Structure 1
Amino acid sequence: MMLARQPFHFLDYTLGGTAALGLRYLLFAGIAWLLGYVLFKRQWFHRKIVAKFPKSSEVWREIGYSALSMLIFGLVGAATFYAYRQGWTQMYGKVGKYGMVWFWASIGCAIVIHDAWFYWTHRLMHHRRLFRWFHRVHHLSHNPTPWAAYAFSPLEALVQALIFPLLTVIMPIHGLAFGLFMMWQISFNIVGHMGYEFHPRWLMQSPLRYIINTPTNHIMHHEKMRGNYGLYFNWWDRLMGTNHEEYERRFSEVTTREKVLVKK
């Protein structure tokens, strides 16, 4: 005898998804804040890209907008799960259906697709007719902290969240692989907004500079309001000529500073 399928309660899935995302964000961003702004703020200050700390009011603004983004992500997540239940996506539950090679390859594909989605939507949101409605809130953070990673306006949060259903529709992806991709993207996003440069100084003298994006790249975007539109990789900015002209020089300046302890 087949068991009856459990009913889908959209509100329950939205609230559950919002809570799960919120707790994950609180954990990851909280650890980054604790490390960079409490425990090691003096020892790491020479690697602080913008050599000062933001006001508490700015941090609370980032937290508030991030909380709103979590709710929108939860709504889109619930809609994505509903689409999966209806058979409208290619998400699957048995690893053996596509094998372990595709399980791991699908995570890599998700990262590359997300990077392209981010670059082009991000660049589009800088259009003068769209910026105010979509992207201005995120750029209120000129010296961002880990809490700025999801500090979006509602419209930008929706654009960022649409990568979730997009991935499940355009390619097969296991639920666990999707979860690992989510862990990657939230971790990278928080590190990118943390305000410190962690890459070694030799990066800009190696071929890796054409591939890997750095926190310096994104923090400069917050400072300059133009250029440096990429997320995980630097290839779109290099191909399209949108790297800020001072990017490599700024990276070298940050990574060659002498270590000086701040008083507080």
Structure 2
Amino acid sequence: MRSFTFLFRFSGATVEITSSTCIFCSMTVCTSVGHRLEVTSYKTDRAMDHVLDIADSYIFTPYVYPASWPEHGALRQILSLWLLTNLGAVLIYLGLGALSFCYVFDHKLMKHPQFIKNQVRKEIKLSTTSIFWMSFPTVALFFLEIHGHSKLYDNISESSLGWSGLFLSIAGFLFFTDMCIYWIHRSMHHRDIYKHLHKQHHTFKIPTPFASHAFHPVDGFLQSLPYHVYAFIFPLHKGVYLSLFVFVNIWTISIHDGDYRIPGPLICLINGAAHHVDHHLFFNYNYGQYFTLWDRLGGSYRHPSALLGKGPHDHVRKLMAEAALAQ
């Protein structure tokens, strides 16, 4: 239950009243004896998601919506969330994807025989289309979250474990989502499901960073669902939640960037780009998102070919050497 503070100005005097009733108001009332009573609407951090609140304050309220559309209106909130979700997702995808493509991705991989014609254009088209359609069910979940139906909280003091709870929640988020995505991803490879949903993503055998979001919308949403579900089951700080969402997008881009370098001790633990490209090439291996744990438990782990001198880079170098000799 939330508390709201109202300031009543009555005949020059100010009275502060705290209420636990969820009331949105901004009005002037005339009393029966002709006195003027002003009620000032509340504003609390818990009333809205921080991003929506900031967007309302600086963009939507002054420049976008008519004054007759209140900030608390469900239709306006849904429309605002939809705009923010699409804009944020596309900016992260195109912005970080472009940086990774320009400065991390090895463009020699585009000479690989399994790199298809106009692949980058196709990856971007599928990704942006998918982001658009995925935003609809995603917004429904965000709407529930900003209305207090999740276990998101604003202040560290609201966690019974304080800062320890915050760091434990990060570890819990990574473990929970990695486990769920492994099984969702693996189920997408079932023969009765694969051809309808996941096959589009595997069109790109030698992926670029722009393949990171190139999914059928249903496939993409189902694989993103654990990120939302976690916040409905376990307490999670709102700032951490938003940060993890950005991190997840960065990670997804990174495992498609063709940079197969992994610190030695972490090769057997982290599911990086070297592991994931083998998933694209060999289909039934390395389903994990961040870690190799569930692939090992599920019998689907494959040591990266790129780290054995048999990866896409090695194949391209061999072809280039053969071409040079032929000349």
Q: Deviations over 1:42-80 (max 9, x none)?
A: xxx5xx699578355111111111112322443233212
1:197 to 254, 260, 270: 260
1:109 to 161, 165, 172: 172
2:190 alignment partner in structure 1: 127
Give, in whole Å, the separation in 1 of the partners of 2:81 and 2:99. 27
SS at match of 1:157: helix
TM-score, normalised via structure 1 length: 0.83
2:205 alignment partner in structure 1: 142
2:23 alignment partner in structure 1: none
1:3 alignment partner in structure 2: 41
SS at match of 1:23: helix
SS at match of 1:226: coil
Task: Say whether the 8 Å CA contact 1:72–1:158 is kept in structure 2.
Answer: no
SS at match of 2:301: coil
TM-score, normalised via structure 2 length: 0.68
2:95 to 20, 23, 27: 27
Q: How does 1:68-217 map to 2 (within 5 A)?
A: 68-98=129-159, 99-200=162-263, 203=264, 206=265, 208-217=266-275
Q: Which amino acid aligns with 1:86?
A: H
Task: Say whether the 8 Å CA contact 2:261–2:274 is kept in structure 1.
Answer: no
Q: Which amino acid aligns with 1:7?
A: G
Residue 132 of structure 1: CA displacement? 1.3
Cα 1:248–1:220 shift into 2, 3 Å: closer
Give, in whole Å, the separation in 2 of the partners of 1:49 and 1:233. 27
Task: Say whether the 8 Å CA contact 1:33–1:145 is kept in structure 2.
Answer: yes
Richer in helix (by share): 1
SS at match of 1:151: coil
Structure 2's unaligned 5+ residue stretches are 1-5, 7-39, 43-70, 321-327
Aligned residues: 246
Structure 1's unaligned 5+ residue stretches are none
Q: Which amino acid aligns with 2:204?
A: S
Residue 136 of structure 1: CA displacement? 0.7
Task: Say whether the 8 Å CA contact 1:72–1:157 is kept in structure 2.
Answer: no
Residue 193 of structure 1: CA displacement? 0.6
Give, in whole Å, the separation in 2 of the partners of 1:25 and 1:180. 15
Q: How does 1:40-51 map to 2 (within 5 A)?
A: 41=107
Residue 27 of structure 1: CA displacement? 1.5
Q: After TM superposition, what 4+ stretches of structure 1 lie above 3 angstroms from structure 2?
A: 48-56, 254-257
Give, in whole Å, the separation in 2 of the partners of 1:30 and 1:96. 39
Q: Deviations over 1:168-207 (max 9, x none)?
A: 111111111011111221111111111221224xx2xx4x
Give, in whole Å, the separation in 2 of the partners of 1:50 and 1:127. 31
Give, in whole Å, the separation in 2 of the partners of 1:176 and 1:73. 23
Cα 1:193–1:251 shift into 2, 3 Å: same
Give, in whole Å, the separation in 1 of the partners of 2:151 and 2:104. 40
Q: Which amino acid aligns with 1:93?
A: D
Higher RCO by CA contacts (8 Å cutoff, separation 6 or greater): 1
Give, in whole Å, the separation in 2 of the partners of 1:161 and 1:249. 28
Q: Deviations over 1:140-190 (max 9, x none)?
A: 111100011110002102202312320111111111101111122111111
